[in-house]
Structure 1
Amino acid sequence: MDNVFLRWREPATRLLSRALPGDVLWYIETERPVFALTFDDGPHPETTPGLLEVLREHGAKATFFLVGERVRANPRVVEQIVAEGHEVANHLMRDERSVLVPDEQFERELAETSRLLEAYGPVRWFRPGSGFYKPQMLRTAAEQGLRAVLGTLVAGNTGGPGDGAIAGGLAASVRAGSIVVLHEGTEKRRGVVATTDELLSASGLTAVSVSTLVG
């Protein structure tokens, strides 16, 4: 299943989270039948409304890690995300590998993205682009009141035939306390809507925001 490019069982995730430096949220130990559902790289006028409709149908909530330049371009979509009770979080200004961005630029653009998002609601979390980070990035984020969130299960729709297998693989692996990362934000990822629908139907767990999972 090529489209699921990270698929860790919970014990492996625990070991990995202890081995890597820094305060990064990968999962939560809980007995509640819930997992955090997160979406990267939005908002997008085609993919995001479809996701909101599916979430509404399932009574699910999610955290949307939004890209600053796309927030500027699609303010009404962000308004809809928040109006329907979902959480917004910081995914930097552009869809790129944050670890390659110079430290001063990272600091400036992290703050800029938060300022854009704070017009819609509180911002607690950030996710580095492509999931890679340096300790300095975590220190900078902490100074700005943000904590890094990665994930237990990560998948990306590509628009190819493999998209149809993503939800089944995720549903078989997700556990209470998992953090699932899906990707939207481009037309070729529009299959994420069907993936989300199938995952929510098959997982046997309730999807919540990161803040609700932590709380």
Structure 2
Amino acid sequence: MATDGFRRRREPVARALSRVLPGDVLWFAETAEPVFALTFDDGPHPGTTPQLLDVLRRHGARATFFLIGERVAAHGELVGRIVAEGHEIANHLMRDERSVLVPGDRFRRDLAEVNQLLTRYGTVRWFRPGSGFYTPRMLRSAAGLGLRAVLGTLVAAHTGGPGDEAIAGDLLAAIRPGSIVVLHEGTARRSGVAATTEELLMALAAQGLRAVTVSELVEG
């Protein structure tokens, strides 16, 4: 999901959107457990993914990585590490672009190609369209591959600017059990995502909240 800065969707807004917008799209999960789903878009990348994995390991946290196909092909060893360390992989299409602008036939081909790349490493259940916009056609193509769309309750992206330092605090004010948090890696200017993730996990652990994968969230 390509985005700049911070966008917040509280759960009531996400619920309203899920009722109004067409299709089977996961925005949040109803749960009584003290858990939230932590997700990362746009990897893998040697400048961000290893640092994120180190942070997650230190905190005993799990996450879902929505991976870009051309980066999977270039950095397969990082995909292998993601899976080996207990995290979940998911389909974020072939390139970092707005999926809604991609012609339907190419969207279907790209989605299938990325699925083929990822299933070498593990099961793939989820996809997230680039930039977070979708159409019923895209959802039908995904369903044909056994994929369900996941957007999120809270979305933030590092830009390399001074505003990055406020991201963790903004997110902490809104994360609740059942939230799906979307962060972004995959480029050098987003290297601050590891520090933000560390700050989030430390503060949320003090509140009794722990990070899980999307699959663990919906199955819990």
SS of 1:155 mapped into structure 2: strand
The 5-angstrom pairing of residues 127-166 of structure 1 reads 127-166=128-167
Letter in 2 for 1:3: G
Residue 3 (1) aligns with residue 15 (2): no
Q: CA RMSD in A?
A: 0.8
Letter in 2 for 1:173: A
Match of 1:56 in 2: 57
Partner residue, 2:83: 82
Partners of 1:176 and 1:37 lie apart in 2 by 12
Q: Which amino acid aligns with 1:54?
A: V
Paired with 1:8 and 1:132, the residues of 2 have a C-alpha distance of 15
Q: Indicate yes or no: 2:210 matched with 1:206.
A: yes
Structure 2 segments unaligned to the other structure (5+ residues):
none
Work out the CA distance in 2 between the residues paired with 1:26 and 1:102.
25
* Counterpart amino acid of residue 175 in structure 1: R
> Where in structure 1 are there 5+ consecutive unaligned residues?
none
Q: Which amino acid aligns with 1:206?
A: R
The Cα shift of 1:3 comes to: 2.2
TM-score scaled by length of structure 1: 0.98
Q: 1-side partners of 2:117 and 2:174: how far apart?
A: 35
Point out 4+ residue stretches in structure 1 off by more than 3 angstroms.
none
Aligned-pair identity in percent equals 71
The whole-number CA distance in structure 1 between the counterparts of 2:59 and 2:134 is: 33
Q: Deviations over 1:53-75 (max 9, x none)?
A: 00001110000000000000001
Task: Normalising by structure 2, report the TM-score.
Answer: 0.96
Between the aligned partners of 1:92 and 1:104, the Cα distance in structure 2 is: 13
Residue type of the partner of 1:96? Answer: E
Q: Deviations over 1:65-96 (max 9, x none)?
A: 00000000001111110010000000000000
